[in-house]
Amino acid sequence: MSVKTYLGFDVGTKRTGVAIANSLTNKTSGIETVRNHKDGSTNWQQIDQIINKHPPDIIIVGVPYDENNKEQEMIYIARSFGRKIKDRFDIEVVFVDEYLSSSEAKNQLKWHYAHKNADRSEVDMRSAQLILQTWLNETRPD
């Protein structure tokens, strides 16, 4: 049995959190937060470096439905990001509902929404971990 690598992404308008896991341990770790360019566009150079450094078998992208399971603007941004990843790298991309992942990440990190000193990059990485762990828990790969 070969060990597979998975990358999870919490896509945002300012930053994108990235987490990694493998099929051997099924445990996630935050690896990086990518800052978008000032115009809001994706920093593909940094995303490329991460994917080349940790070549994944599957990429998991969180899509943020609201509490009524309705789509919102960020869903289109996350899906576009996922399609571009698939086209750039020819890697399978799976979309996972990430409802409240950022809130849960903040709770886990013991930060309140309004806490001015909260390190948002840590929140984004933790959110990516939660997205990836959700997929691992719901989908037993291999």
DSSP-derived secondary structure letter, 57 = S
Q: What is the pLDDT of residue 112?
A: 47
What's the one-letter identity of residue 77?
Answer: I
- Amino acid 82: pLDDT: 96
* CA 79 centroid distance within chain: 12
Among 27, 9, 1, 8, which residue's Cα sits nearest to residue 77? 9
When the candidates are 3.50.50.60, 3.40.50.300, 3.40.630.30, 3.30.420.140, the CATH number that belongs to 5-138 is 3.30.420.140
pLDDT tens track for 16-37: 999 999 988 888 999 999 999 9
**Domain range list for the chain:** 5-138
Q: pTM value?
A: 0.82
113 vs 38, higher pLDDT: 38
Please tell me the distance from the alpha carbon of residue 25 to that of residue 117, in angstroms, as a whole number.
33
Distance CA(82)–CA(59), nearest Å, equals 8
For the stretch 48-83, pLDDT in tens is: 999 999 999 999 999 886 666 666 677 889 999 999
